[in-house]
Structure 1
Amino acid sequence: MRMASHPLRWTLLTELAASDRRVRELVATVGEPQNLVSYHLRLLRSAGLVTVRRSNFDGRDSYYHLDLARCGTAFAEAASALHPALTPTAAPPYGMPGGAVLFLCTGNSARSPMAAALLRHRSGGRVEAASAGSHPKSALHPNAVRVMREDYDIDLSGHRTTPLSAVVDRRFDYVITLCDKVREVPRDHGSAETAHWSLPDPAASGDSYPEFRRIAAELDIRNRQLLTLLTPLTTDRRNDHVQQRN
């Protein structure tokens, strides 16, 4: 609580709650010198509330990520220490979410189709999740199909990759980029909320299956957190999404 209560650190945490960010983006948002922002980011990292990952598009850049699971645990422990009555009660993290979410990466062969499949799975099909790539490959990576089948009982064997042009006219509530390269591609997503999850390409690690499992697990965690932001669709909005899909 002491770590998060500093006004600048709280602002940084709030920004990172919405999307992974680079230092220069945080500097522009908070209007403070880079050395001061970097200092407070180091403190947040030392507390385990924030992590950092080198960009796999531009190795000179790094993306900062808010560890929501760690934040949740830390805040819950602080509340319980203040008074037992403040101990969080077990409750579903989300009710009946709805909406449409688009996941984007470059090849659409691993990260984005796994993310879309996991979101559909966790929402019980209530969220319309799609994926696309700026330069889609010919087929899904075999390890992506394997990890979905073995770890989540999701069958992607018949899934085909999708170009970004195929979804450009569809309306989405959220558009989430998963690789640092595609984030730099200029796009117009209308009124959709946008976010960036800076995740490395698991295929770049020498086709290591454990890396595919690690990326899938992180996508699953982030999707569970995303579901708390999605609200039930009204009848009109649901019909609108169905008509657009058809």
Structure 2
Amino acid sequence: MASHRRAVPPFVHLAAHPLRWRLLTELSGGDYRVRELVTRVNEPQNLVSYHLRLLRDGGLVTTSRSSHDRRDSYYHLDLARSAEMIAGAGTTLHPALGLELAPRGFDLPSAPAVLFVCTGNSARSVIAESLLRRRTGGRVEVFSAGTHPMPQTHADTVRVLRDEYDIDIADRIPRPLDLLAGHRFDIVITLCDKAREVCPDFGDGPRQVHWSIPDPAAPNTPGADAYPAFQATAAEIDTRIRYLLPTLTTLETACPAG
């Protein structure tokens, strides 16, 4: 008896093309602009843009307008959506393969050093630092700093970490990036498009990663409640951190600063 014909699962259809797979691979390491992806895959911009549009239409890739240059956009691989689509592809092949995919646990032989950077160190980078420290139980040496730190941590940052994640940072003061100039890091993650452009070189070794995340403290409609933006930002950062954890095992940890 002939087998029932099944449509090719969306993930297989999208990822099977060699260039699209290369773009997905590049975006798995961080967010990039089109011209950066053109350089990384060494293909014409019109071809790269075409395949990025297909990945975006398919739900694997999202875009956000750059806060540094509003004419530019950053592309981001939606890892949670990718995991969902991969699981769906497995189910199409055989029901037993439809397992729920999630970031696996990790075992660190030594404590890597991670730095999160944004402009004011009052929202995004503080949230990332706090959530990574919580999720790793202190097994990661984690810092955050700002290129132009604000006088104090944003009240909604304190609120969202306290109310949604039971983390108390009420006494935390934003840290200037200059204070960490002599420290060695294994990975430096910028969460702000502006900070990415001015983040200093930390020397040989650190893996440079960019997460293009809008500032939840950006000016809102007068009288509007900004807290939902902080909730959405914290949720996005938490998702990214969960998928960051397994990659920390691949880092060659730096020697302590002398």
Structure 1 and Structure 2 fold alike (TM over 0.5): yes
SS, match of residue 28 in structure 2:
helix
**Aligned residues between the structures:** 240
1:114 to 127, 132, 137: 127
Aligned residue runs from structure 1 range 75-224, under 5 A: 75-88=86-99, 93-97=104-108, 98-185=111-198, 187-189=200-202, 190-206=204-220, 208-224=226-242
Q: Which residue of 2 aligns with 1:48?
A: 59
1:11, 1:177 → 2: CA distance? 23
SS, match of residue 53 in structure 1:
strand
1:229 pairs with 2:243: no
Q: Name the structure with the higher helix share.
A: 1
1:41, 1:125 → 2: CA distance? 38
Q: 1:165 to 1:146 in 2, by over 3 A?
A: same
Q: Which residue of 2 aligns with 1:14?
A: 25
Distance apart, 1:160 and its partner CA: 1.2
- The answer to whether the 8 Å contact 1:205/1:211 transfers is no
Distance apart, 1:185 and its partner CA: 1.0
SS, match of residue 62 in structure 2:
strand
2:118, 2:250 → 1: CA distance? 27
2:178, 2:35 → 1: CA distance? 30
Distance apart, 1:124 and its partner CA: 1.2
2:67, 2:211 → 1: CA distance? 12
TM-score (norm 2): 0.87
TM-score (norm 1): 0.91
1:224, 1:67 → 2: CA distance? 13
1:4, 1:123 → 2: CA distance? 32
Mean Cα deviation higher: 183-192 or 207-216: 183-192
Structure 2, unmatched stretches of 5+, are: 1-11
Q: Quick check: which has more Rg, 1 or 2?
A: 2
Q: 1:90 to 1:108 in 2, by over 3 A?
A: closer
Distance apart, 1:4 and its partner CA: 0.4
